[in-house]
Structure 1
Amino acid sequence: MAAEGLGSKTVKANVNLSTADLALDHYVAVTTKGESAGVEQLFATDFNQKIQASNAQNHSRDAVIKSLKKQKGEKLNCAVNTDIIQESADYMVAKVTLKFEDFTKTDLVTLVREGNDWKVSGSINAYK
């Protein structure tokens, strides 16, 4: 049993983020299905999250990653819909809608190509 956990903290999963669609799918898995592999790899170094609500909030890359790691394995009970709003060779804006029983969360996600990988560079959340 003790050998089972050896090295698990030092091994980092390498997630395939070679296309915008793969990066968007992984973002959805991380934020709604509790996926934790490749979380650091997914977000650009200048990532920022804004939450539009009565008390608007901003969250840094490190704060978002820390929060998502705490949610490892937790699946949100919601219907997920993704729409590509704009796409080019190095840039994508997608709208991710999470429909819960009592409210809806809309997440506008900006992805950019950095070298051979796509990364999430921004996220703006609104609630209804």
Structure 2
Amino acid sequence: MDACPFYLSTADLALDHYVAVTTEGESVGVKQLFTKDFNQKVQSANAKTNSRDEVVKYLKKQKGERLNCEVSTDIIEESTGYMVAKVTLKFENFTKTDLVTLERVGSGWKVSKSINSYK
């Protein structure tokens, strides 16, 4: 079992916690939420890749900050060992789409990859 203060026993729980961390400023378990080799790709004119440490540091700084957006999640594919989900954040002037891959790690679930695009 993880050193996480709570147990992400299902992909749905891990996805819900990811959404809380990225949109609602939740900070509990941020480090434990991501696999060791997690990375985040940002698709834009200046395409960028962020490491696990960079993302964790950024999210910890956002503690308590709620994003002013409408959030929806769609499960694209799911199996016993992984899930791919689409998280859409609809802001007033733009939309952020986050394709998230979650993997079973031991008996729990973690986020292993995130690809962001903006419209």
TM-score tier, shorter chain, comes to: over 0.9
Aligned to 1:8: none
Task: Provide the rounded CA distance (Å) in 2 between the counterparts of 1:39 and 1:45.
Answer: 12
One-letter amino acid matched to 1:111? L
Of 54, 67, 84, which aligns to 2:58? 67
Q: Does 1:80 align with 2:74?
A: no
- Say which SS state the counterpart of residue 24 (structure 1) adopts: helix
Higher relative contact order (Cα pairs below 8 Å, separated by 6+ residues): 2
* Post-superposition offset of 1:17: 0.6
Q: Does 1:127 align with 2:118?
A: yes
Query: Runs of 5+ in structure 1 lacking a partner?
Result: 1-11
1:44-63 map, 5 Å: 44-63=35-54
Task: Give the TM-score normalised by structure 1.
Answer: 0.90
* Post-superposition offset of 1:13: 5.7
Q: Tell which structure's C-alpha radius of gyration is larger.
A: 1
1:1-128 map, 5 Å: 14-128=5-119
Aligned residues between the structures: 117
Query: Runs of 5+ in structure 2 lacking a partner?
Result: none
Flag as ranges the 4+ runs of structure 1 deviating above 3 A: none
Q: CA contact under 8 A between 1:15 and 1:41: conserved in structure 2?
A: no
* Post-superposition offset of 1:116: 1.1
